[in-house]
Amino acid sequence: MTTEQLRQAVEHYGRELQMPSEVEYDNLDVNEIEGAIPRAWWVLVDLWTVDEGRSDLTLEIRLTDTGGELYDIEIYNLHVL
């Protein structure tokens, strides 16, 4: 998903995104991708808006281990659950 596609999808949703509280990061749906080299994980991230709090939007990303402190992040989808 490109930056422009992501921007358009959020704009179409019609709400302003906001960061969730820190405690929400403990509730991420993280699943390791078996056999991935380097190690990688699928992550589902609930998005939050100013008006709704937790919204119906979910961001689907892939994290790939880079061998350092940071991970490569690929956004695959933004959808309503």
Query: Residue 81 has what pLDDT?
Result: 73
Query: Residue 20 has what pLDDT?
Result: 93
Query: How many structural domains compose the chain?
Result: 1
Q: What is the pTM of this model?
A: 0.83
Domain that holds residue 10: 3-80
Query: Residue 1 has what pLDDT?
Result: 78
Report how far apart the first and last C-alpha atoms of the chain are (Å, whole number). 18
Query: Residue 11 has what pLDDT?
Result: 92
Tell me the C-alpha distance between 66 and 39, whole Å: 9
Report mean pLDDT in 10-residue bins for the chain, 81 residues.
Answer: 89 93 90 97 95 93 95 92 73
